[in-house]
Amino acid sequence: DTGVSQDPRHKITKRGQNVTFRCDPISEHNRLYWYRQTLGQGPEFLTYFQNEAQLEKSRLLSDRFSAERPKGSFSTLEIQRTEQGDSAMYLCASSPHTGGKGGTEAFFGQGTRLTVV
Amino acid sequence: GENVEQHPSTLSVQEGDSAVIKCTYSDSASNYFPWYKQELGKRPQLIIDIRSNVGEKKDQRIAVTLNKTAKHFSLHITETQPEDSAVYFCAASTGTYKYIFGTGTRLKVLA
């Protein structure tokens, strides 16, 4: 499968624990996004990378959340001291650079479903 | 702030009928408008998109229209089939990076 892959697919953790998710984008895509989706809602933007640079972080993201993309390839999203409200599907997406021609399709991964108990 | 409103939240149609989903965006700088289909337990997948320099785009049974003045865009599905049943999300982007999604429309096509 040459699409966006995420690992793990499911994660159950106890409140207060730290969790880390991984996203491998499509190899030639330089843009990488993290979104959070709760039941019955659309994906909410969390953060965005262009290559290894994190260019924007949503105000929704508390200090407990951190994301990295150290070599401009895969990315990790870490949540520290998890809370029950963090339970959601975490989606990663990637898209190619369009050379200033505007937006283009973002390809989504299958997501990591986090349950905090 | 940036916002995309989507209506209706649920839509039931008889097989063969048409379905229309409408979205309104707030950021006048938005210039790219994708529509995603998400089946239960699966990833969102692009079904059609439109750029701000185009008023309408069609792909077989699916069409999207854009009214930049009113900041409205709509998805039209004709001759609906049971496999069209899913949740549909509209989104708006300024073209640089992030997409602001609507809250979704659950479409049910009744056989």
How far B61 CA sits from the closest chain A CA (Å)? 20
The pLDDT assigned to B48 comes to: 96
Q: How many helical (H) and strand (E) elements, i.e. helices and strands, does chain A have?
A: 0, 11
Query: Model confidence at B2, in pLDDT bands (50, 70, 90)?
Result: confident
Average pLDDT over residues A38-66: 91
Residue showing tokens 């998805």: B75
Chain B contact present for A111, CB below 8 A: yes
Mutate: best of B90, B96, B106, partner A, most A CBs <10 A? B96
Task: State residue A62's pLDDT score.
Answer: 87
* Nearest-CB residue to A103 (from B89, B95, B103): B95
- Higher model confidence: residue A75 or residue B41? A75
| Partners of B93 in the β-ladder | B32, B99
Which backbone phi and psi does B58 adopt, to 5 degrees? -130, 140
Partners of residue B45 in chain A, C-beta under 8 Å: 108
The alpha carbon of residue A18 is apart from the nearest alpha carbon of chain B, in Å, by 25
CB-count burial class (<10 Å; 0-12, 13-18, 19+) for B3: exposed
Query: Residue A62 contacts by C-beta under 8 Å, 6 or more apart in sequence?
Result: none
Per the document, the length of chain B is: 111
| Cα three-residue angle A72-A77-A81, rounded to 5 degrees | 155
Burial label for B30, CB within 10 Å (0-12, 13-18, 19+), is buried
- Contact B97/A110, CB-based, under 8 Å? no
Per-residue tokens: B47:
């079904």
pLDDT(B84) > 90:
yes
For residue A22, what are the β-bridge partners?
A7, A76
Rg of chain A on CA atoms, in Å: 14
User: Does the distance separating the beta carbons of B97 and A42 come in below 8 Å?
Assistant: no
Give residue-wise pLDDT tens across range A84-97. Answer: 999 999 999 999 87
pLDDT of residue A65 exceeding 70: yes
Tell whether A1 is within 8 A of chain B (Cβ): no
Using the beta-carbon criterion (under 8 Å), do A103 and B51 form an inter-chain contact? yes
C-alpha distances out from residue B11 to A75, A78, B5, B73, B77, Å = 37, 37, 16, 17, 12
Amino acid at A91: L
